[in-house]
Amino acid sequence: MSEKKVPSKHYQNLLKRFPEVMAAVENLGTTVKDAGPLDRKTSELIQLAVAASAQSVGSVHSHARRARAEGATQEELEHALLLLTSTIGFPKVAAALSWIQQPAK
């Protein structure tokens, strides 16, 4: 089941103020993902890990949502983050793990 999210007000503002730039950014992301042999799920898990390393909460949420849409399980998301422990440290990993928790249904 794919989760649909309404873009944030900030993102909507950027789209309104800089439509050509935002179109280029979105095109670049799609082009890069399509340029290589990695599948979409793997690409999103990599981007999730980088977002966690940068401590970018919004990006962590976005890439976790996209990875789920590509079939990643919660366990795969968690493992992608746990793999970072020796690289970025447990406190940052623990924070990112909290950001990807889904509310109980």
pLDDT at 1: 41
CB atoms within 10 A of CB 33: 14
- What is the pTM assigned to this prediction? 0.82
Query: pLDDT by residue (tens digit) across 5-23?
Result: 667 898 899 999 999 999 9
Contact 93, 81 (CB under 8 A): yes
Q: What is the mean pLDDT of residues 58-86?
A: 96
Q: Domain span at residue 72?
A: 37-100
Query: pLDDT by residue (tens digit) across 37-55?
Result: 999 999 999 999 999 999 9
Two structure tokens written together for 51: 């977002």
Q: 68 lies in a domain?
A: yes
pLDDT at 2: 45
DSSP 18: -
Confidence band of 103 (pLDDT split at 50, 70, 90) = low
Two structure tokens written together for 45: 């898990």
**Distance of alpha carbon 97 from alpha carbon 20, whole angstroms:** 34
Query: pLDDT by residue (tens digit) across 82-91?
Result: 999 999 999 9
Are 56 and 21 within one domain? no
3 has a pLDDT exceeding 90:
no
Contact 53, 84 (CB under 8 A): yes
Are 91 and 46 within one domain? yes
* Number of structural domains the chain divides into: 2
Two structure tokens written together for 20: 């050509």
**Distance of alpha carbon 46 from alpha carbon 48, whole angstroms:** 5
Are 50 and 32 within one domain? no
